[in-house]
Structures are given as C-alpha cells and as structure tokens.
Structure 1
C-alpha cells in the first residue's frame, strides 16, 4: 500500500469520526458512530476543563448542548481547542443559551480564531 493510499484512508476515517462522514470500506458504521460519540464527549470534557466557568454556567445543559453543537460543527483535525471553545461560546450566544456579552467580546473572540 502506498503512502498516498494510506493517507487517503486515514483522511476518510477521520472524516467519518469527526465530521459524520460515511464509514470507509471495511469499517462497521455502527461501531464508528459509537467511537465518534466517544470522541465528541472527550472534546466536551476537554472544553469543560479549559473553560470551567462555561460548564458551570450551563450546568446540566452543558453536555446536551455541546453534543448538539459538535454534531453540527465537528472539530477540525488541525483546529486549536481554544478556537473550538470560542466557536462553541459564539454558538451558545447566537442560539440564546447564554446572554449576549458586553459590547466587543464576540469580535475579540472572532479575531483570536
């Protein structure tokens, strides 16, 4: 197997796990969905660790809201976790789950990403 073939197969697997893409040939789609859910929960725990005030503000809503966000907007392979956290905060505000911050915060967040 060539390096290009291996790279293509790895990219297909990552797309299936992180972005809800189709299961690559030879992989069980139901098992990949389980693994994708595990990765989303892991991203959610990492984000809660990095932004404990966010998890505290949302309380029990944190997990379901993060799952909803991550399902629609998966983390990109090369994306910094801080930028992904900022995207989550922006989404929460835009969806009305968090109050709109004082003037300028959203623009500062967007400039950092």
Structure 2
C-alpha cells in the first residue's frame, strides 16, 4: 500500500494562512492610517458648525475652535484660523485649512489636504 500525502500534511497550508493574515493586518493598518485624518476633518467640520451656531463674539469663537483643534490633534496654528463676523446679517464665517502626511511604515507617503469653510 502506498501512502498519499495531502497538501496539509506537508505544511503548505500554514504558510498560506500566515500570508493571508499578514495581508489582512496590513490592509487594516492602512485603512486606519488613512481613515483617522478624514474622521478628524469631519469632526472639526461638525464642531465648527455647532460653534458658529452659538453666535458668540469673534474672540470667544476663536477660543472654542482652537480648543477643538487641540482636542482633535489637528496640525493648525491659532493664527491660521480665520473667523469673520458680519454684525448686520449676524453671520459667522469660520475658515481653516491644513495638510496631513500619512506614512505607511516608510513604504508609502501621501499628503492629504483638508479645508473647513463654515458659514452660519
């Protein structure tokens, strides 16, 4: 009687599983690295709308926006946040822009640009 060996008995299946797991982990890591800047942008946009709806003074609005920027870890300086207040029409405009470089373990780098332009 001759014995036939199956592919699993030779150890070939283990390498495939390791490669698939490595690919899944790499995809999840890349997705996380790219998703976080977009999440921060969307959060800042929502927060800016809420702060603008409060209708407070320019200085108070700037302080509230700056607090949220610091809280979210957005790389923008306080002097780059532009807030205008039209007293006649009671309209507050908040504008800011920033860029974030996403680095995937040194293999791939991409600069993402974000802008918030809220008028309430």
Higher strand share: 2
Task: Give the TM-score of the pair, scaled to structure 1.
Answer: 0.31
Please say which structure displays the higher CA radius of gyration. 2
Higher helix share: 1
